Amino acid sequence: MPESTGSPDSPSPEVRVEVADGVLRLTMDRPRALNALTPDMPSLMAAEIERATARDDVRVVVLTGTGRAFSTGADISGKYTIDETSMDTANRWIRAITTCDKPVVAAVNGVAAGVSCSAALACDLVVAAESASFLLPFANIGLMVDGGASATVAAAIGRARAMRMALLAEPLPARTAYDVGLVSHLAPDDSFAAEVDALVARLAAGPPLALAASKKAVNAATLTQLEPALEREKSGQTVLLRTADVVEGVVAFAERRPPVFRGE
């Protein structure tokens, strides 16, 4: 099946932008690549979320993916290069989500991995389909977690679970993610879309000033380390990107073999 070309108002065929009934829906639309991110996708989504604050026709933002994945993160097998610029762009995406005065909902329809997992977990509410999973696979290529995940995951489920996700790069099934408090809602696959729509409609009909104030207050109380985390992650990744281990990790990923890390 060919990939969708997006709606006429979309800034890119890889990100569909739709506004209806007070809902701004951003859909990552590269289903054949499991919605892996191209270099432009995070900045496009960040810009749309930033503009949402001043839009009277938007009361809630939804972030989701097409097909069987939410997004597998940076497309390191394509043109996406992880460097200081790409980390700045990713951090802009995370900041846009957390500072937007409209509720931002992640509708996680399938696997959410890498920086896309980080973005989903930065959202105010996360609705996960039962078949979905969450993965921070950075260690598999010799990198550290980024996208603010070192702060948001620990804030949601505690240090021990955050360490497990960061150090072992184990996928966390949606049911477990819900049980431990990483996501706010769990939905059966066959009713996932309907449950997302019902939740989003409820938010869109809610009191916008009160919702904005509540979001700001909760984030101020629980994400006090987000901004320092974004800066620490950027500094750490910048150092790690110069190592032989990252070269080995990326090459091993491309060759579909286990990496051999030497601490170099």
Containing H/E element for 183?
none
Least confident of 46-60, 67-81, 142-156, 187-201: 67-81
Containing H/E element for 173?
strand 172-173
- 262: phi > 0 → left, psi -120 to 50 → alpha, else beta; which? alpha
Amino acid at 70: F
What pLDDT does 83 receive? 82
Distance (Å, whole) CA 39 – CA 30: 13
Count how many residues are written for the chain.
264
Identify the band that residue 222 occupies on the pLDDT scale cut at 50, 70 and 90.
very high
91-141 pLDDT, tens digit per residue, is 999 999 999 999 999 999 999 999 999 999 999 999 999 999 999 999 999
Using N-to-C axis directions, what is the helix angle for 84-99 and 114-122, rounded to 10°? 20
Own/partner pairs, 162-171, CB within 8 angstroms, 24+ separation: 165/134, 165/135, 165/136, 166/136, 166/138, 166/139, 167/139, 168/139, 169/135, 169/136, 169/137, 169/138, 169/139, 169/140, 170/135, 171/111, 171/133, 171/134, 171/135
Q: What percent of the chain has pLDDT over 90?
A: 89
Strands (E), 12-148: 15-20, 23-28, 60-65, 69-71, 104-108, 111-113, 125-129, 133-135
Which phi and psi angles does 48 have, rounded to 5°?
Answer: -65, -40
11, pLDDT greater than 90: no
Alpha helical stretches, state H, 100-191: 114-122, 149-157, 159-168, 174-179
